[in-house]
Every structure is written in structure tokens, then in C-alpha cells.
Amino acid sequence: MKNAHRSALALAGLLATSGVLHFAQPKPFDSIVPRSLPGRPRTWTQLSGAAELAVAAAIVNPGTRRLGGLAAAALFAGVFPANVKMAIDWRHASPARRAVAYGRLPLQVPLVLWGLRVARR
């Protein structure tokens, strides 16, 4: 299996896992939905979970992989405000929780780049 194909499948697996978690364990995701978004946090959790599942499916299919990679990059950039909210909300939490919250912020950059790499190949 080529590295590019393996990378695409790994990204799809990450997105699919996260998408399923949005439905199976929604409360942690609900808690990081920015308050500025209209509607209920659960609605945004479900929408983002569905988007992750759709993007994963697009990446798995070679015919839609380019679009899926671009959508993944956009999705990772789009959820950044939720990660910022988490970092702000957890700024007084335990060191371990702060490390998770703060670690998610720079992690978005390689995730966006990964989506773009999948789109290019």
C-alpha cells in the first residue's frame, strides 16, 4: 500500500472515530461549543460529528479524496474556536487537563496540513 493511500486512510480513520464519538459521548463536545454559536450545543456537536463522518467517507473514496482532504483541512480549521474555548475554560483545571486543552491548539496546524497533503496526492 502506498504511503499516500495509507496516510489518507489514517486520516479517514481519525475523522471517523471522532465523528462516532460525537454521537456516542457527546457531552465533552457539547461543553466546548462556543457560546456565540446560535442554538443548542448538542446540535453543533451532532453537526460536527456528521461532518467528520462525511469527510472520512469522502477521503476513503479515491474519486472524492481531493475534495475530502480539502474538507478535512477546512473542518480542522473550523473547529479551532472550540479548542480555544476549551483552553480558556480549562485554564484553572489540573495540570493534566490544561496540557490536553493547550496541546490541542497547536495540533490543529499539522491536522490542517495533513488534510491538504491528502488533497494534493
> What are the DSSP calls for 2-37, one per residue?
-HHHHHHHHHHHHHHHHHHHHHHS-HHHHTTS-TTS
Between the alpha carbon of residue 88 and those of residues 14, 25, 36, 77, 103, the distances in Å are 25, 22, 14, 18, 12
Q: In which band, very low, low, confident or very high, does the pLDDT at 4 lie, cut at 50, 70 and 90?
A: confident
Q: Is 80 left (phi over 0), alpha (psi -120 to 50) or beta?
A: alpha
pTM score of the predicted model: 0.89
* pLDDT above 70: percentage of residues in the chain: 99
Identify the DSSP state of 91.
Answer: T
* Residue 46 parent element (H or E): helix 41-60
Rounded to the nearest integer, the mean pLDDT of the chain is 94
DSSP annotation of 93 = S
Question: Residue 2 has what pLDDT?
Answer: 86
Q: Which three cell numbers stand for residue 115?
A: 488534510
The predicted pLDDT at position 108 comes to 93
4 Cβ neighbours under 8 A, 6+ residues apart: 118, 121
Q: What pLDDT score does 1 carry?
A: 58
Q: Write out pLDDT tens, residues 28-81.
A: 999 999 999 999 999 999 999 999 999 999 999 999 999 999 999 999 999 999
